Copies of this chain bind each other. A is one copy, B any other.
């Protein structure tokens, strides 16, 4: 049994039992994988796959067990390599970020730009997910999930608070609500067709519960994951938009009127979540620190190692965050807490 054999094995499993395709993925030839698989099966003494004719048809029962353990082996071997790459100050690698459209489109870009300068050879992959699915991606290879919640921190992984954000109501310039000199009431909002995120369809969504707790039933006219789509449909007059404040561009969205809605909807917290079982690369932690300048990379490292015994510095509101980014060093030092 070798690490190569195990790597080939899970590659075959991950490509749906297609050895040729798996060979491409691991940058090797198909006969090489075939042979190594055969040798592994010979050593173990049983078939890992059921063959129909020459092709692989299914994974055998013991094969499932072996593959699961092989993944563990490769995970830890990868951790050793990540550990070493961090220590060497390696500036190349992969970074898969699982998050929603709004984060990817409006929050990440200004952080990723400087990250690319510090780590020029890191290839970054955005894994788009619905609000509820980003955490699940951590179990499927993502290095970092960015999620939001209005209550408790995410249950799995290592969660770090990044910033707090609020929802805003967005209406076209000529809309009756736009001329109000105050923020609209929930009842006024409930009378309008609403254009918002896909996740607001879920009965437990904080948008829905805000209405139902007030005895109102919102009419959700249109949903999308994509904040730009939501704005497009608001412009088209489909209804009023309710979305995250981060999604409002001060330069591009001047034709729309935004109304505050803090009093109606709970404040949300954006969290960065690291998979507990995988050693994070330095650039992953750097990205978190770029997203939330109050965070210190060394504290993040300690949090992963389980030796961080302080409290995270208070996460700023999204709107305050800019001032932090202007002077990250001063603020970063001041709030980096390590209590012994």
Contacts and interface: CB of A to CB of B under 8 A. Distances in A.
Nearest to A90: B45
- Copies of this protein in the assembly total 2
A277 B72 CA distance: 12
A84 B45 contact: yes
B1 A77 contact: yes
A2 B2 contact: yes
Contacts of A88: 45-46
A76 B66 CA distance: 9
Contacts of A217: none
A65 to B, nearest CB: 6
A70 interface: yes
Q: Which interface residue of A2, A45, A65, A84 has the most chain B CB atoms within 10 A?
A: A84
A46 B79 CA distance: 15
The A interface is mostly helix, strand or loop, or mixed, namely helix
Count class of interface residues, chain A: 20 to 34
A326 interface: no
25 contacts: A1-B3, A1-B77, A2-B2, A2-B3, A3-B3, A43-B84, A44-B80, A44-B81, A44-B84, A45-B84, A45-B87, A45-B88, A46-B84, A46-B87, A62-B84, A62-B87, A65-B83, A66-B80, A66-B84, A69-B79, A69-B83, A70-B80, A72-B72, A73-B73, A73-B76
Interface of A: 1-3, 43-46, 62, 65-66, 69-70, 72-73, 76-77, 79-81, 83-84, 87-88
